[in-house]
Chain A
């Protein structure tokens, strides 16, 4: 087993989308999410968490301790069950002991260990696990354009429709290009509570880098992780305010008069000289 985390971390991930919809808004008929006041694009925290979960599920399929609690569709979990039965995870017979149950959930499920989960019935009212990883909404660096593309279908669903010669028109929404910035935090103190290890963190960062490559679909277009900067503090509680660290990294359009259409149109500046004492800046991607 690797070590439980001993350092606080913050991270900034830049990812972009080309001709795709990174995160639809159910309120707006699945148009790309947008901040109505500024016109900047948004991607919700839960959307990114879903991708991390999926990546871990693919990459650690059947491995002990990397099961995913909040699953998408059916999982081949018999393998995992066998692993569990083989390991004889019977604890002492204290069924009311919520801490035992929590520890079991944390040990077995990566997403419970990383993001936390709510376990609740009438017996104990605070069966909540707060995970060490906290993500914010991702925001695009510039105003995005929500484009609506109308498409047609050559087949029809019903006989009636087929007879009428009317072909169905469908709609797709896309963002021609958007560079998004995700900020997140890792609390060492919470990691110690859920047993989130250094190895788990490495897996989490790996999933940030590769999750878009396992999430291709007709609506997503081309999404890629572009840059991942990690701030590692020397201490558990941290050595500098998070806001000051996030301010060190900036993405700017090289030519603001032209619309951005590729990652090359942006210039990322990292103020390495101003990284405070006791904080290490690691460029992971």
Chain B
């Protein structure tokens, strides 16, 4: 602990879908802790570490725009894939002309955030040489040089994120909401807890969404380290 990192993340568009509005996607007003974690993991992630987002600073004014696109309505049924692999004659194609949905998305425009986060080592997955110093320095190297595992994105992959490392003593941009004492963002997704259990020789996956009450004070959202209802 004690190795905090700060990352300046920005982009022209962003879409952090609200779970209650997913067909016609509507973005949250700001980046969720879970999307912020995804941005950090795009730069560095190992099974032995877990990123914890501490604070999110909202730098730009919150603005929305609507985009409507043609989308495919269904997903690939794995059963058909298995059947094709076994040699039976199933058609594995998706015909977009017959399976088309036009959906609007309410996306954020012109966003910029500073993500303050740290990582914790998961003892049971850490090897001998997995020290916090090692991962911290790896992250510094990558973030300063603009290296990444894959290019981070703001909610959806078509909205790529620019990122740069914010040095500890470095200058931090002023938030548009710096004079806003209390901006209530109401309930937001905090993160999803994934679990994997073995049951009767089968692997069962479960995931629980967790929510928190987000408040922006002078442009800064303090993310709780644990949430419980």
Which residues does chain B contribute within 8 Å of A72, judged by CB atoms? 95-97
Of A147-155, A200-208, A235-243, A256-264, the stretch lying at the interface with chain B is A235-243
Known: A46-B70, A104-B81, A105-B76. A237 touches B149 (CB 8 A): yes
Known: A101-B85, A125-B205, A239-B145. A118 touches B76 (CB 8 A): yes
Contact A242 B146 (CB under 8 A): yes
Which residues does chain B contribute within 8 Å of A235, judged by CB atoms? 147
Contact A125 B207 (CB under 8 A): yes
Asked if B121 is at the interface (CB within 8 A of a chain A CB), the reply is no
Q: Say how far A136's CB is from chain B's closest CB, in angstroms.
A: 5
Q: Report which of B12, B66, B75 forms a contact with A27, defined as CB distance below 8 A.
A: B66
Residue in B closest to A233 when the chains form the complex, CB atoms: B147
What CA separation (Å) do A194 and B12 show in the bound complex? Answer: 28
Of A13-21, A82-90, A162-170, A172-180, the stretch lying at the interface with chain B is A82-90
Asked if B131 is at the interface (CB within 8 A of a chain A CB), the reply is no
Which residues does chain B contribute within 8 Å of A88, judged by CB atoms? 87
What CA separation (Å) do A270 and B109 show in the bound complex? Answer: 28
Known: A44-B67, A189-B149, A243-B162. A69 touches B76 (CB 8 A): yes
Asked if A198 is at the interface (CB within 8 A of a chain B CB), the reply is no
Which residues does chain A contribute within 8 Å of B66, judged by CB atoms? 27
Residue in A closest to B13 when the chains form the complex, CB atoms: A137
Residues facing A in B35-84 (CB within 8 A) are: 65-72, 75-79, 81-82, 84
Asked if A77 is at the interface (CB within 8 A of a chain B CB), the reply is yes
Name the residue among A36, A123, A137, A189 with the largest chain B CB count within 10 angstroms.
A137
Residue in B closest to A119 when the chains form the complex, CB atoms: B76
Asked if B212 is at the interface (CB within 8 A of a chain A CB), the reply is no
Of A58-66, A126-134, A215-223, the stretch lying at the interface with chain B is A126-134
Residues facing B in A111-146 (CB within 8 A) are: 117-121, 123-127, 130, 132, 134-137, 139
What CA separation (Å) do A46 and B97 show in the bound complex? Answer: 14
Residue in A closest to B77 when the chains form the complex, CB atoms: A121
Which residues does chain B contribute within 8 Å of A120, judged by CB atoms? 75-76, 78
Asked if B151 is at the interface (CB within 8 A of a chain A CB), the reply is yes
Contact A185 B85 (CB under 8 A): no
Which residues does chain A contribute within 8 Å of B159, judged by CB atoms? 136-137
Asked if B171 is at the interface (CB within 8 A of a chain A CB), the reply is no
Which residues does chain B contribute within 8 Å of A158, judged by CB atoms? none
Q: Say how far A204's CB is from chain B's closest CB, in angstroms.
A: 16
Contact B146 A238 (CB under 8 A): yes
Contact A242 B162 (CB under 8 A): yes
Which residues does chain B contribute within 8 Å of A117, judged by CB atoms? 76
Q: Say how far A89's CB is from chain B's closest CB, in angstroms.
A: 6
Asked if A1 is at the interface (CB within 8 A of a chain B CB), the reply is no
Which residues does chain A contribute within 8 Å of B164, judged by CB atoms? 241, 243
The 7 lowest CB-CB distance pairs between A and B, nearest first, are: A241-B146, A187-B150, A45-B158, A237-B147, A27-B68, A243-B162, A185-B151
Q: Show 28 A/B contacts (Cβ-Cβ < 8 Å), sorted by A.
A: A27-B68, A68-B93, A70-B93, A70-B94, A71-B96, A72-B95, A89-B87, A95-B82, A100-B85, A101-B78, A101-B81, A105-B76, A117-B76, A120-B78, A121-B77, A124-B78, A125-B207, A130-B150, A130-B157, A134-B150, A134-B158, A139-B12, A185-B160, A189-B150, A237-B148, A238-B148, A239-B145, A240-B146
Supply 17 further A-B pairs (C-beta < 8 A) apart from A27-B67, A101-B78, A130-B150: A37-B109, A69-B76, A71-B94, A89-B85, A101-B81, A101-B82, A117-B76, A120-B78, A125-B207, A127-B78, A185-B150, A187-B150, A237-B147, A238-B145, A239-B145, A240-B146, A241-B146
